[in-house]
């Protein structure tokens, strides 16, 4: 299957944003060793893609809430079919089907961004001044030459940590500078990738399902560590895309999690159903404040019955029950 349509789409968005910044007046020449119009074009490629995928991200959050709500039932199945992994998997799949929950929905936004990443990787890898087909994917020769010479702090955006001496010579780049800039960006890419996964796990909690927990651990540790190796073959422009995407994700997740926070019970993050006790209705959250409203409501002290009010005597009236004075002596 040809991926040319992805390359054309990515090129169109990238070139459109570059033209927009050029029209606004962002300098074409390098400032501080950086061609900001091309850097901003990559940044706003991220913004464009993330705005398009925002509804999918909201569905991801809702799916995670649904999975949390099923955790008590998942735990019951694990206890019931302990030692029988095959039956456990069948029962869990049936539970997910019945409740219309999709364990893979949490990874969907990332999967949808893979074509964008691959498209940008392919387009930026083509930025070699020695190439003759400069007009491929809708580029003009002028745009191709401009992007080929674009730099960030004097390192070309088409260069990479593992660039060969010939590649660096064609790009007119210094090998040490490229390695330093690319190395720093790879470390930032790893750190922000770790933070995005950690942010979500801290807010939603670790899954009870072993498969889901394994996916969470892979997202938290496996992917950032893999970038240490794969980052050496990424063009610097692609790393800028990845870092920007991670920063966008951190801000977007923080906003969504504040607007739709996970429900918290006395056992931590569990799901959408309030905790209950046998024979009683749902436990009502305390209204006295405290961390995550966990404080118990103050015990109700029965009010003492008020003493009946006795009207005072009217002015000039004799007492109703006059005290008897001392008896008079009989003469």
What confidence tens digit (pLDDT) does each residue in 173-212 have? 999 999 999 999 999 999 999 998 888 788 767 876 677 7
Mean pLDDT score of the chain, rounded to an integer?
A: 79
Q: What is the pLDDT of residue 308?
A: 55
Q: What is the pLDDT of residue 331?
A: 42
Q: How far apart are CA 189 and CA 240, in angstroms?
A: 8
Average of pLDDT values for 164-175? 92
The H or E element containing residue 5 is: helix 4-24
Asked if the model's pLDDT at residue 306 lies above 70, the reply is no
Asked if the model's pLDDT at residue 325 lies above 60, the reply is no
Which residue is it, tokens 């995550």?
292
Q: How far apart are CA 233 and CA 236, in angstroms?
A: 9
Q: How far apart are CA 271 and CA 144, in angstroms?
A: 52
Q: How far apart are CA 172 and CA 153, in angstroms?
A: 14
Average of pLDDT values for 36-56? 93
Q: Which ranges of 155-300 would DSSP assign to H, the alpha helix?
A: 165-171, 175-204, 210-217, 223-230, 236-259
Q: What is the pLDDT of residue 43?
A: 96
Residues 6 or more apart whose CB falls under 8 angstroms from that of 193 comprise 223, 224, 227, 242, 246
Asked if the model's pLDDT at residue 267 lies above 70, the reply is no
Specify the range with the lowest mean pLDDT, choosing from 90-99, 268-277, 304-313, 316-325: 268-277
Q: How far apart are CA 209 and CA 69, in angstroms?
A: 12
Q: How far apart are CA 101 and CA 61, in angstroms?
A: 12
Q: How far apart are CA 16 and CA 37, in angstroms?
A: 11
Asked if the model's pLDDT at residue 273 lies above 50, the reply is no
Per the model's pLDDT, the better-predicted residue between 40 and 326 turns out to be 40
The predicted model scores a pTM of 0.71
Q: What is the pLDDT of residue 98?
A: 82
What are the structure tokens assigned to 66, written together? 């649904």
Highest averaged pLDDT of the listed ranges 12-21, 47-56, 110-119, 319-328: 12-21
Asked if the model's pLDDT at residue 39 lies above 90, the reply is yes
Q: What is the pLDDT of residue 274?
A: 41
Per the model's pLDDT, the better-predicted residue between 141 and 204 turns out to be 141
Q: Where residue 97 falls among pLDDT bands split at 50, 70, 90?
A: confident
Task: Locate the domains of the chain by residue range.
Answer: 3-259
Q: Where residue 93 falls among pLDDT bands split at 50, 70, 90?
A: confident
Q: What is the pLDDT of residue 64?
A: 72
Q: How far apart are CA 299 and CA 301, in angstroms?
A: 6
Give the residues across from 276 on adjacent strands.
282
Q: How far apart are CA 311 and CA 284, in angstroms?
A: 44
Q: What is the pLDDT of residue 292?
A: 39
- Contact present, 270 and 193 (Cβ < 8 Å): no
Q: How far apart are CA 36 and CA 299, in angstroms?
A: 63
């Amino acid at each position: 299957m040809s991926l040319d349509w992805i390359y054309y789409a990515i090129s169109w968005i990238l070139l459109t944003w570059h033209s927009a910044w050029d029209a606004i007046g962002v300098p074409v020449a390098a400032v501080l060793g950086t061609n900001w119009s091309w850097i901003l074009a990559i940044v706003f490629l991220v913004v464009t893609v993330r705005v398009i995928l925002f509804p999918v991200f909201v569905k991801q959050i809702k799916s995670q809430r649904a999975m949390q709500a099923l955790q008590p039932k998942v735990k019951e199945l694990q206890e019931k079919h302990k030692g029988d992994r095959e039956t456990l998997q069948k029962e869990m799949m049936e539970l997910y089907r019945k409740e219309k929950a999709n364990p893979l929905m949490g990874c969907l936004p990332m999967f949808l961004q893979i074509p964008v990443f691959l498209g940008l990787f392919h387009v930026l890898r083509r930025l070699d001044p020695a190439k003759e087909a400069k007009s491929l994917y809708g580029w003009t020769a002028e745009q191709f030459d401009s992007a080929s010479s674009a730099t960030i702090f004097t390192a070309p955006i088409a260069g990479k940590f593992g660039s060969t001496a010939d590649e660096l010579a064609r790009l007119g780049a210094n090998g040490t500078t490229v390695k330093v800039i690319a190395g720093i960006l790879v470390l930032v890419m790893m750190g922000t990738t770790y933070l995005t996964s950690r942010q979500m796990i801290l807010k939603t909690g670790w899954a009870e399902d072993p498969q889901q927990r394994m996916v969470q651990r892979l997202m938290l540790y496996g992917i950032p560590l893999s970038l240490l190796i794969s980052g050496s073959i990424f063009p610097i422009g692609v790393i800028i895309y990845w870092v920007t995407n991670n920063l966008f994700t951190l801000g977007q997740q923080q906003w969504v999690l504040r607007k739709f926070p996970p429900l918290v019970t006395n056992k931590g993050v569990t799901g959408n159903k309030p905790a209950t006790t046998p024979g009683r209705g749902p436990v009502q959250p305390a209204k006295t404040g405290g961390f995550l409203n966990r404080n118990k409501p103050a015990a109700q002290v029965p009010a003492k019955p008020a003493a009946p009010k006795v009207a005072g005597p009217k002015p000039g009236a004799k007492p109703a029950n006059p005290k008897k004075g001392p008896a008079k002596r009989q003469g």
